[in-house]
Amino acid sequence: MTGRLDAAVVLQLIGVTQQYGNGATSVSALSGVDLQVHEGELVAIMGASGSGKSTLLSVAGGLQQPTTGEVVIEGSFLSDQSPAQIAQLRRRSLGFVFQDFNLIPTLTAIENVTLPLELDGFRSRVARRAGRDALASVGLEDKLDAYPDDLSGGQQQRVAIARAVVGGRRLILADEPTGALDSVTGEMVLRMLRARVDAGAAGILVTHEARHAAVADRIVFLRDGRIVDESRRDGAEALLAGGSR
């Protein structure tokens, strides 16, 4: 805990608001959200459907620009960056994991994982080695050339995690990554996310289940686009408790 307090801030949201639409039909999806996520820290976000969880991840990952406020990733204010610079930051520093895996069906597991590296101009031999390492880290070294359709849901989500971490990405944003998985597979996926964060990334995990949020160091509760509560816990202890169940 004390070590974590001096750890580098990987993500910072400062007074972020997100308004959809104008006038009478406008929706405030986020209102004045301040959040910091440090290296080695996994933050869970909980809240009812429509409370702004997905919007928060999307803004944090530079997929959409907030109406007001600032997003800072590893010291870079996204508002100072060109669209091309933001795209590059996303390819190099960010990994997204979604409920429905979002793999490209016509690419093999390793091609899905190495795609962001290839787009970023890595030589294919280098990209392939990184992809193989990332897939090995989620226990899929024997599925490199399998297509998504030939993999179980849990295996597909592990490929998505490998894609999110390949090349040492520093910020992992996961939106209900266990929503489509059975509980045993879901817990395995969470443990992999946790291990990656422990190895030097920062993560946000959106989840509906308190039991899953228990792998996080901190749980932030959103209601109507505002952070209404926050609870801290010892991540290592929670992980051990999860592992012995």
Ligand X SMILES: Nc1ncnc2c1ncn2[C@@H]1O[C@H](COP(=O)(O)OP(=O)(O)O)[C@@H](O)[C@H]1O
Least distance to ligand X, CB of residue 180, Å: 15
Distance CA 229, CA 15 (A): 16
Sites for ligand X among residues 6-25 (CB under 6 A): 20-21
Among 38, 42, 46, 51, the residue binding ligand X under the rule CB under 6 A is 51
Least distance to Mg ion, CB of residue 53, Å: 5
Q: Measured at CB, which residue is nearest to Mg ion?
A: 54
Query: Listing from the earlier edge strand, what are the strands of the sheet with 76-77?
Result: 27-38, 9-20, 68-73, 76-77
The answer to whether 54 contacts Mg ion (rule: CB under 5 A) is yes
CB nearer to Mg ion: pick between 114 and 157:
157
Locate the DSSP E strands across the chain. Answer: 9-20, 27-38, 42-46, 68-73, 76-77, 94-98, 171-175, 202-206, 218-223, 226-232
The answer to whether 53 contacts ligand X (rule: CB under 6 A) is yes
Distance CA 139, CA 137 (A): 6
The answer to whether 58 contacts Mg ion (rule: CB under 5 A) is no
The answer to whether 47 contacts ligand X (rule: CB under 6 A) is yes
215 by Cβ neighbours in 10 Å (0-12 / 13-18 / 19+) ranks as buried
The answer to whether 51 contacts Mg ion (rule: CB under 5 A) is no
The answer to whether 32 contacts ligand X (rule: CB under 6 A) is no
The answer to whether 178 contacts ligand X (rule: CB under 6 A) is no
CB nearer to ligand X: pick between 55 and 93:
55
Q: Which residues contact 45 (CB under 8 A, 6 or more apart)?
A: 53, 56, 57, 204, 205, 206, 207, 219, 220, 221, 222
The answer to whether 50 contacts ligand X (rule: CB under 6 A) is yes
Least distance to ligand X, CB of residue 52, Å: 4
Residues forming contacts to ligand X in the complex (CB under 6 A) are 20-21, 27, 29, 47, 49-55
Residues forming contacts to Mg ion in the complex (CB under 5 A) are 53-54
